[in-house]
Every structure is written in C-alpha cells, then in structure tokens.
Structure 1
Amino acid sequence: MYFISRLHLRFAFKLAFAIVLAMFVGFHFQLETPRWAVLTAAIVAAGPAFAAGGEPYSGAIRYRGMLRIVGTFIGCFAALFIITLLIRAPVVMLLVCCIWAGFCTWISSLVKVENSYAWGLSGYTALIIIVTIQAHPLLTPQFAVERCSEIVIGIVCAILADLLFSPRSIKQEIDRELDNLLVDQYRLMQLCIAHGDKEVVDKAWAGLVRRTTALEGMRTNLKIESSRWGRANRRLKAINTISLTLITQACETYLIQNTRPEFVTPEFRTLFETPVETAADVHKQMKVVRKVISYAGEKNTPVTISSWAGAVTRYLLLKRGVASNVRISAVEEEVLNQEVVVKVQSAEGHHAMINFWRTTVSCLLGSLFWLWTGWTSGSGAMVMIAVVTSLAMRLPNPRMVAMDFLYGMLVALPLGSLYFLVIIPSTQQSILLLCISLGLLGFFIGIEVQKRRLGSMGALAGTINVIVLDNPMTFHLNTFLDGALGQIVGCFLALMVILLIRDNSKERTGRTLLNQFVSAAVSALTTNKNRRKENHLPALYQQLFLLLNTFPGDIDRYRLALILIIAHQRLRDAPIPVNDDLSAFHRQLRNTADRVISASSDDKRRRYFEQLLAELDIYQEKLRIWEAPLQVTEPVKRLAHVLHKYQHALIDA
C-alpha cells in the first residue's frame, strides 16, 4: 500500500513541476499567452497517467508529446491552407474547417489507437486557429507560429519533469510477464491435452489472448523508452507471434479431440500431467518433452504437439535474449527473419464514418449556435465541441469521455472562480506564490487523475483554460464567466450529438471481423511459396482482441473466430498438391471470399457466401481426385463444416 501511495505522490509532484516550469518559462520569455504552454504541459503529463490508472511508464509522456507536436503542426498547416483559399468567404471557411475536423476524426478511427491522438488533435487545432483569428485573419501566420512555440515549450517542460522525477521503466514488468506467460501457455496445453471443461479452456485462452496483446503494448512502451532496447524490441515482436502460435496449437489440439479422441496418445497425456509453477519448471519439462518427441518420431507425435514444442523452444531462446539484451545470435536472427508478418486491415470503416458525422455535425451545430447567438464565448463552446468529439470518438465509450469533460467543466467553474477571484489576484505580484498556487492545483488533481476519477482530466484542463494566465494578466469577470460557461455549453452540445447520432456499427463490425477470419482461412489455400510464408496470426489475433472488446462475454462468437484462425494456421502448413488446376481454383476461392467482405448489401453477401460454400464442396472433390493427404483434406472438410454450421452468424448477425 505504501508503494502505491509513493508512486501516486511522485507523479503528483511530477505534474505540479511540469505546470510550474511551463508557467515560469512562459512568463520569463514574455510569451503572449503562457496559458497554452501550461495547458499543454498539464495535458501531456496527465493524459497517459489517466489512461494507465497510475504513473505512466518511461517514454509514454515523451511519445504523447511527440504526437501532440505532429498533430499541432498538421493542424496549423491545414488552417493556413484553408484560410489562404477561403479568406474571402468566412462562413464557407468555417464549414470546410468543420469537415476537416470530421475527416481527422475519421482517420483517427482507422489508424492504430496509440497514433490516433495526433490526428484528433490536428482536427481541432485548425478549428482553434480559424475561430481565433476571425477578427484579424491577416495575423494567422503569426498566431500559428506562436501557438506551435508555446505548445513545444509545454511539451518540453512535461518531458523534463518526467526525466527529473525518475521515470518508471517497464523492462522489469516485461521480464516478469514473459515468465508468467510461458507458465500459463504450458497450463493451457495441459488443459487442452486433458480435454478438460470447455468453459475453463475458453477462459484460459481468452485470458492469454488479452495478456499477449498487453505484452505487445508493453513492447511499444519499451521501444519509446530508450533506443538501447532495440534488440529486446525485435525479440519481443517475434515473441508476440510465437505466443499467438502457442495458443492456436493448444486450442487446435482440443478441437481435434472432439472428433478424434485418440489423436493424443496416452504417452503424451501422461507426459503433460506434471504440474508446473515457474518458468524454470517449464524449461525443465520441455527438455523431457523434446526427448519424448525425438524418441516417438514424427509419425507417432501429434502434429500440433510437435509444432507447439518447437514454438516453446523459440520462445525460450528469445526470452533469454530479452532478459540479457545481448547481441542477437545467428540462430536468433534466423528465428526473427523466419516469416513476413502481414499488417491488419481495419474492420471499423462504418464506425469511422459514424465518428466523422458525429464530429462534423457537432462542429456545424456549434458554428450555427455561435453565428446565431453572437455570444462572445460561442467560439469557445465550438472549440470545446471539437475537442470532445475528436478525442472521444476513438475510445471504446465516447459517451463516458464526453461526460468526463462535462463533469470536469462543471468542477472547473467554482475551482476556476476561486483562483480567478482570490488566489491569482493575491499572488500575481510574486512569481513564487503564483508557482506555489498552481503547483498545489496540479499536485492534488494529479492524485485524482491516477485514480481515474470521473471529471479529473476535464477539471484540470478546464481550470487552467479559464483562469487568466496571459501576459499581461487582466481580470474581467465577464470574460471569465463567458469562458467557463462556453466550456460547459460546448461539452453539453457534444454529449447531445454523441447521444443522438447513435453508433449502430457494432453488429456490422462484428460481422466484418468474422468474414475477415473466413477470408484469411481461405487465403491459406495456396501453393505459392511467398504467400505461404506470410504470417497472418498477429493481424488475426488483433482482430480477435477487437472482437473481445466489442462483444464482451459473447464466448460463442470468440470460439467461432478461434476455429477460423486455427483453420488458417493448419491450412497454411498443409502439404497441398502443387498443380495448375488447384492453383487456379485457389485464386477463385480467394476472389469469392473477398467479395463476401466487400458486398454492399445483405443479399449480395448471402449470394457470394453460398457461392463460396459450393466452391469448397467442389474443391474437396478436386482434392480427392488429386489424392491429397489427410493433413489437407481434414482441415478443409472441417472449414467447410464450420462455414455451413455458422453461416447465419457470418451473413446475418
């Protein structure tokens, strides 16, 4: 408990120092609006802590800062371009900027989650610039340069604070997780060989998928922590694929025994009954497993157990290298370059389009509200709308993010009033007292941010935004009230748009994901050597993880996806006869499977899926004619059976 409290306090001091340093530098160099530097430092430092639910690991703040710089520069260039083209038509210029914000949200919904922040930021940065310079459009270049400079200063201050307060390395966590993951992989294989309870097996493999995905996230953190972990990063990237292979081989062992209980011989059942507690136990047990496999020979060893044992051997080799971070040996280099990993194709196209309309419509409503009412802080409300919708859309629960902002802005009204009316006027003559007062604000909110308290991030950003930190400082109550109320109104309108434009893409995304699994399984039917070297497992399991998050608790859907992943992996290694007849039919099968995914209507999708089923029946007959071995005919028959059995889930669900 003491350890957790100490980490909370350390990050609170880190956040307070970043805020104070940004404010001091801003006033020292006579920046016109030091508020932007302070706000940037607070958001860059607190954002990763809120996401992690504690002090972020080393490199997370630096990476977020780099994304903010990239997003700000993209937004500034976009604003300059829009203003240059449409400066004579202010309303059209505002309309185009709203569309740009929606476009950036659309892009951020399709790229990797960790990179989406930059695109979301670029959307509302352009809007902030265009809204701010409406009265003086000729000052746009100067304002853009000033904003970029202030933001860079804030980011540098946040990074310096992170470095000074002993950033927490993730390397030890990775080493510990590699050991624990290996033990649980062995236990999953024990469950599958023993053909235990289906629900227990489902829970075990689903947990391993989540932990393997989490390990990949740790690898990303390690990559941005320091360049000295480059070799460990390469090994961890390969371990991710190996871990997914182990899950696949173990689950295939379980599934095959559903129809062929004799698939695993008593000798191997007895061998895997020995319990393991540590990674050293697994290492010791694997020596025995390899000896038994060598003694039994290839014909008497189940193919999945043989493949699984080879994958564990590669895992142990690379794990040792990750721990020591020594130079990569020739054997390791061969393992690392063994396969070409195929990148994942996003299945969230419809979800991204809904996000585009949410951001665009909410920004347009904010513009109409501003132009219709003529309210001086209507521009502030419009900016808040863009900020909330741009940042909320990529997250799993946009409504809760919007509510977090709304609660935070409601808290910022009384808290900002205290600072604006009492504290800052009393301390503005002393930079030391001003630093202490803002440092205390950052310290206490920093503790709440780590607890992921609803409204804490919004309160931090909202309070800094409404208190006067300009140069020179002025205190006009009307300006403060307009700014605070504008934030609240903007967050409220954004929440209303999110609630009214409902996201109905969940079922469509799920169906697209399942059809992508079907396409991947069919694409494994090839005799092309280069295509057979392509490793789709990381991409498929990334899609499976998205399925786990989209449909929590739907174990039947996960099981179907896993069966299709297993089919892909088994067909990829199957000794398919090489001839022109089968090769031509493989291309036809892949083409039909792609049409199922890209079908624009349910009728077309159903027609193409029925065509795929018919072609698989023809393909099985061709395999019989060409005397394909059991290693080919059995997985193809199993795939055709699964597609027939679950065609309703794959077409209409």
Structure 2
Amino acid sequence: MFANILALRPKGADWLFSAKTFVASVLALFIALAFDLDRPVWAMATVYIVAHPLSGVLASKALYRVIGTIIGAVAAIVMVPTLVNAPVLLSLALALWVGGCLYLSRLDRTPKSYLFMLAGYTAAIVGFPCVTDPGFIFDTAVARVQEISLGIVCATLVSHIVFPRHVGPVIAARIDGWMGDIAELAKLSFDAGSDTEKLHQDRTRIAADIGELHGLAVHLGYERSRFAGRTRQLQALQSAIAALLPVLYAVHDRIAALVGHSGSIPKDLQAILDDIAIHIATGHYDGSSTQALHARIAAYGAEFANAAEWDGLLQLNLCNRLHRLLNFHSDCCRLWDGLRKDNVPADVVDRWRDSAQDKALHRDYGVAFRSGLTAVIATLLVCGFWIVTAWPAGSTAAMMAAVGASIMSFLDNPVPALKGFIRYTAMAIVVVIVYSLAILPGIDGFPLLVMAFAPYFLLLGVLMTSPQTYGFGLAMLVNVVMILNVDTSYSSNFAALLDSGIASLAGFAVAAIVTAFVRSVTVDASIRRLVISNWRDISAIARGTLRLPRMVMIRRLLDRQGLILPRLALAPDHRDTLIRAMPEVSIAASIYDLRRFRALADQRIATKLDVVLRNMARHFDNRRHDFSALPDPVILDEIDNILREVVAISPTPLRDKLLIPLIALRRALCRTGAPVLDRRADKAFVPDLPPLMGETA
C-alpha cells in the first residue's frame, strides 16, 4: 500500500476533489454542531463515503444511500422494540435482515445495489446500540436519517456547484474512442493475416470497456449534462456495440477459412471489404452509402445462392455476416448521432431494448447467497459473544461485523481487503489518540478545528482519487471521524475510546474469518464459475429450455466475458479461457438459429438437427464437470451429414437459413479442413476427420 502511495502523482483535479470533499464535510459538521444533532460525525463521515469525482455518480449514490438508510432505520424501529426482551431472537432477526438485503444487493448489477446494502447494515447500526435502551430507538433512527441526509445534501451541493465534473462528457469521450476502436478492429478483421494476439487484445479491451458504460449511464439522470435522462438510449448503444464483436469475429474467421481453402480473397470481395472498412471508419451514419454496400454484397452473394462447394458456402456465410455487420454498425451510428443531436430514433432504441435490460446481465445466485449467509453468521457470532459476556462495547462490534461482511462483498475474495481495513482501522486509532490527547484539547472554536483537520483530511482525500489507494484513504478518514466522535464540547474518555476501537477491530476480524470460510473464492474459481455459467446457458439453448431473445442471449455471454477480463491479471493461466469465449458466442448463436429454424425443415433434416442439438447440449454439460473435455467427433460428422442434406435442397429461403448457422457451427468446432459435400465422393471416400478445437467448443 505504501508503495502505491509513494507512486501516486496527484493532478490538480485530484487536489480539487479533495478540497471540495473537505469543504462539504466541514460544512456538514458545522451545521450538525450548530443544530446540536446527536451524532454530528455521521454527517461528516457520510460526505466521504459518498464522495466521487463525477457529480452524477455522487448524486445517484447519495440518493440510494438516503433511501437505504430510511428503509434500514424503519426496519430497526420495527424489530428492536418488538423483540428486545428476546435477545437471541432479536439478534437472529437483525442478522437475517442484513443477510437478506446483502443477497439482493449482490444480485443487482446497477448502482441501486447500494440501496439494498445500506438498508441492511443501517438496521444494525441503528438497532444494536439501542438494545439496552429501546426507548431511544426512534430518536436514534431519526438522528441517523437526519445526519446522513445532511451529509448527502452538503456533498451534493458542493459537487454540483463548485467546478462540477459531469458523467456525460466522460461517456461521450469513451464512446468516441470505442467507435474508433471498432473501426480499427474491423480493418484488422478484414485481413486474414492479422496478428491473432492483436485481434484478441482489441476484442477483449472493447468488451471490458463497454461493460463500464452500463454503470455510468445509470447516473445520467442525476445531473444536468447534455445526456441527462438518456440512460435507455445509451444502454441501447452499448448493446449495439457489443453485438458488433461476435460479428467481426465471424467475419475474420470466414475470411481466414476462405484464404486457407482457396489461397486468396476474390478481387471483387476484397474491394467490398475495403469499402466497408472505409465506411465504418467515418463513424457517422450515411444511409445512401450503407444501402449501396448492402446492394453490392447482395449482388456478390447471389453468385453463391446455389453453392455446393465449401468455398462458395463460406462466401455465402461471409456475405450474410457482412450484411449483419453493416446493420449493427448503422444502428450504432444512428444512436450516437442522435444522442449528440438530441434526436435519437425511437425505432432503433426499441430494436435493442431487450438486450439493454438487466436480464441480459450475469447474476451469480450462489455467490449472492453465500454473501448473505456470511453476514448472518458473522453478526450472530458477535451477538452471541455479546449476550454471553455482556460486553459494554458489544453493540459496536456487532454492527461492525454486519458492516464488514457487507462492504467488501463485491470482491471475489474479500478477506485481503478486510485485513487491510483492520490494519487501517488500527492505524486510524493511533491518529485518533494523537488528535484526542495532543491536538483537540488546545482547540477553541470551529475555525481552529477546521485548521487542525485540514492537513490530514486534504492529504488523505487525494488518496481517494486512485483505485490503488482509495481503500486506505477512505478507511483512514471515516474511522478517524467516527472514532473521534467530535461534539459541541471536548471530552476525552480514553478508556471508552479504546474500547470502541477494539470493538470495531473485533467486528471486522469476525467478518474476515467468517468470510474466509464461507464466502471467499479464488480468482481461478470465479473465472471457472463464469465460464461454466456460459456452458450451462449454451446447453440450455440447445435443449430449448432457455428462452431468451437472441441478442439478450448474446449480450449475457459477452457480459460474462467482460467480467472475466479484469480477473485475468490475477490468473494469467486462464488467458485461453477468454480466447475461447468469442467462439462460444458463435456456437450459442448457431445453436439458437438451428433450434429456431428446425421447425421449418422436413422431418428427416429436423430429426438429424435434434441429434446434433442433443449432442451439443451433452458436450457442454460434460465440460461443466470436466473443464477440458473435447467434443465427440461424431458431432462434426453429424453436421457434415446435415450440410450435405441441406446443400442438396433446391435454393429456397429455408436453405440459406439452415446453411448460415451450420457453416458457423462447423467452423467453430473445426478450424481446419473442409467437409465433403458431394454425396458421390462421400460414398467413395471417407476422409480422416481433422482435429477438433476443444479449446473453442
């Protein structure tokens, strides 16, 4: 941590953020002291807890904190007086409330998750200190809401009035960058000789960046930038950009296959690819250019309408993917152009509406349940010790156990962060002792108090601007504020201060121990869970038990890819896991299309498709138990047999609908060789099956 602190090079914007936050915190403290509120430090600490450089993020976080605080306070008011004479039952009720709220929080992939978490541990913060005197529960709850609201109002006002930094311009800059990245990726994808590593890095970087837009766009309704209220439109744009990734992957794969089979790209096709690359590089919607390109692709693809050879089928499939690429890119441009001109086409937004909703996001119910269970067990253990020993500071330890089990639950392994928080809390106690015994006794008046706080708070506030030092800065600030407990008059009860500090450490320690046994998972295990979730979905698609719109299904698979990416820095051995994610998106889409179109095929082909779908489902079920299981070679043989059946059909729309996913699935399963499509050749000669690429299937 200290290496990160020494390596930090704060900019002017970082110092401005620290100064604004400090001003808001002392303003909240001044108002709380002036009105003689019960716990003025709650208002001051709240400012730092909700602080964020972007005003929209701060405002939405603040709103959810207020709502969560009110819900948690009401829950405490209901439970404590009712169950105060049954300590064990009251402890169980509060623990279950904290755990249940945390469970809901972990399932929500939006900033609203903060509301559920706050509702949970606020009930513990309000309820446990009032167990010995339940008559004060309502006053305590009201005070908590008042002081939290005061801190939030001060933080929000200062953030929005003093040099505000809005979310909108940040999003705009990132989208411009992503559109440029997409153009570069398209150029690389159109070249069969492009560096595979470069393509992989570009795809994964864009997938990870797109994931950030979902969270940032939610905050737009809480500020006055030019994109305020455009959350739905921006999330539609996010879905459209995400949809480009598997299409570009498929385009590059078909081009590589064509070059591998025929030796080169036909000149007419190369000219079309070059013009599409130029078209995409403009980054703006041009209807006439788009239609002209569609017409050229259609004219070129018409030559292969009766194709019965592998190279012709590859070009037929490639033309289909180029049409889709142009359509998706046009939607991206129309959405982005419309957002900048405040005239977003409703039909395009509606087209991407389903895939922009929460059901397209991954949810891990198992991790959410274990997170809630951790909070329940940690809180109950501390409460049990408190009941047995009648420890005067037991209420502090109980509420810190609830808080500790909650605030780090978003991490795969929260234990190192909790250990760090414990260390920082111990360090904060030392700072509190210095302030309490050496500085505050000589303070007379609020201006001197601000001057005494300024050096420490301004310096630590800067640390909150960096992800590497945020946890240290926040812990050292909030703990100092809460343990110091500044009030209208100075009082130094060293024994009470030390007891409170020890209780806080004990609560966090119990939360860390329980988390290590119940909730903690390694990064490797987390990546495996995400990959297995994809396989479970693909198996369900093949069986027909997962009924989602096509783009929702693709978005969910890509969302998991975005979740895998940041974990790879800690688990480099799983790099190949991410490389195979894009082919698996292609497999899922092909299986989805085959299941959808099988009802239109004749009975013989439909029966064969059913066999392929069952075998694909069985394969992905096997992979969930055997991570490195290879697909049964029979699957490839079955697909080749169906290809021969479909190729023999006279040209109809059904023929094309079946050929497109069959070719894509065949390429995903086997990247080398070509199927024998001539029935006579098949009877005379049975080729050796090329090796299956188990890492992509």
Fold match (TM-score > 0.5): yes
Q: Distance in 2 between matches of 1:464 and 1:630?
A: 68
Q: Distance in 1 between matches of 2:383 and 2:614?
A: 46
Q: 1:491 is matched with which residue? A: 508
The two structures, once aligned, show a CA RMSD in angstroms of: 4.2
Counterpart residue identity of residue 410, structure 1: A
Judged with a 3 Å threshold, the aligned counterparts in structure 2 of structure 1 residues 533 and 508 are, in CA distance, closer, same or farther, namely closer
Q: 2:655 is matched with which residue? A: 629
| Deviates most, 135-144 or 209-218 | 209-218
Q: 2:162 aligns with which of 165, 168, 188?
A: 165
Q: Distance in 2 between matches of 1:334 and 1:390?
A: 41
1:247-396 paired onto structure 2 within 5 Å: 247-261=245-259, 265-270=266-271, 272=273, 281=282, 291-300=292-301, 302-324=319-341, 326-328=342-344, 332-342=345-355, 343-344=359-360, 346-396=362-412
Q: Distance in 1 between matches of 2:228 and 2:613?
A: 37
- For the pair 1:65 / 2:62, whether they are aligned, the reply is yes
Counterpart residue identity of residue 333, structure 1: A
Q: 1:26 aligns with which of 9, 28, 32?
A: 32
Counterpart residue identity of residue 120, structure 1: M
Judged with a 3 Å threshold, the aligned counterparts in structure 2 of structure 1 residues 438 and 173 are, in CA distance, closer, same or farther, namely same
Q: 1:86 is matched with which residue? A: 83
Judged with a 3 Å threshold, the aligned counterparts in structure 2 of structure 1 residues 3 and 189 are, in CA distance, closer, same or farther, namely same
Q: Distance in 2 between matches of 1:636 and 1:276?
A: 27
Q: Distance in 2 between matches of 1:235 and 1:385?
A: 41
| Deviates most, 627-636 or 15-24 | 627-636
Q: Distance in 1 between matches of 2:292 and 2:137?
A: 73
Q: 2:459 aligns with which of 444, 448, 455?
A: 444
Q: 2:418 is matched with which residue? A: 402
Q: Distance in 1 between matches of 2:91 and 2:615?
A: 45
Q: 2:222 is matched with which residue? A: 224
Q: 1:52 is matched with which residue? A: none
Q: 1:576 aligns with which of 593, 597, 601?
A: 597
Secondary structure (helix, strand or coil) at the match of 1:32 reads coil
Is this contact kept in 2: 1:380–1:487, CA < 8 A?
Answer: yes
**How much identity, in percent, do the aligned residues show?**
21
- For the pair 1:135 / 2:157, whether they are aligned, the reply is no
| Deviates most, 566-575 or 294-303 | 566-575
Q: Distance in 2 between matches of 1:474 and 1:86?
A: 34
| Deviates most, 395-404 or 474-483 | 395-404
- Cα distance, 1:458 vs. partner? 0.8
Judged with a 3 Å threshold, the aligned counterparts in structure 2 of structure 1 residues 272 and 243 are, in CA distance, closer, same or farther, namely same
Judged with a 3 Å threshold, the aligned counterparts in structure 2 of structure 1 residues 294 and 596 are, in CA distance, closer, same or farther, namely closer
Q: 1:564 is matched with which residue? A: 584
- For the pair 1:44 / 2:60, whether they are aligned, the reply is no
Is this contact kept in 1: 2:436–2:492, CA < 8 A?
Answer: yes
Judged with a 3 Å threshold, the aligned counterparts in structure 2 of structure 1 residues 142 and 173 are, in CA distance, closer, same or farther, namely closer
Q: Distance in 2 between matches of 1:546 and 1:472?
A: 50
- Cα distance, 1:327 vs. partner? 3.2
Q: 1:146 aligns with which of 143, 147, 158?
A: 143
Q: Which runs of 5+ in 1 are unaligned?
A: 49-55
Secondary structure (helix, strand or coil) at the match of 1:337 reads helix
1:375-524 paired onto structure 2 within 5 Å: 375-427=391-443, 429-451=444-466, 452-453=468-469, 455-471=472-488, 473-501=490-518, 502-503=520-521, 506=526, 509-519=529-539, 522=542
| Deviates most, 588-597 or 64-73 | 588-597
Counterpart residue identity of residue 563, structure 1: P
Judged with a 3 Å threshold, the aligned counterparts in structure 2 of structure 1 residues 198 and 294 are, in CA distance, closer, same or farther, namely same
Is this contact kept in 2: 1:366–1:381, CA < 8 A?
Answer: yes
Which fold has the larger relative contact order, with Cα–Cα distance below 8 Å and residues 6 or more apart in sequence?
Answer: 1
The CA deviation string for residues 446-481 of structure 1, in whole angstroms up to 9 with x for no partner, is 112223425221111110011132355532111111
- Cα distance, 1:197 vs. partner? 2.6
Q: Distance in 2 between matches of 1:96 and 1:522?
A: 43
TM-score in terms of structure 1 length: 0.83
| Deviates most, 539-548 or 15-24 | 539-548
Q: Distance in 2 between matches of 1:480 and 1:498?
A: 27
Q: 1:236 is matched with which residue? A: 234
Equivalent pairs, count: 629
Judged with a 3 Å threshold, the aligned counterparts in structure 2 of structure 1 residues 344 and 439 are, in CA distance, closer, same or farther, namely same
Structure index of larger Rg: 2
TM-score in terms of structure 2 length: 0.79
Counterpart residue identity of residue 115, structure 2: A
Secondary structure (helix, strand or coil) at the match of 1:393 reads coil
Q: Distance in 1 between matches of 2:213 and 2:601?
A: 43
1:189-208 paired onto structure 2 within 5 Å: 189-195=186-192, 196-208=194-206
Q: Which runs of 5+ in 2 are unaligned?
A: 1-6, 302-317, 671-691
Q: Distance in 1 between matches of 2:70 and 2:669?
A: 49
Q: Distance in 2 between matches of 1:391 and 1:422?
A: 32
Is this contact kept in 2: 1:517–1:565, CA < 8 A?
Answer: no
Q: Distance in 1 between matches of 2:619 and 2:135?
A: 53
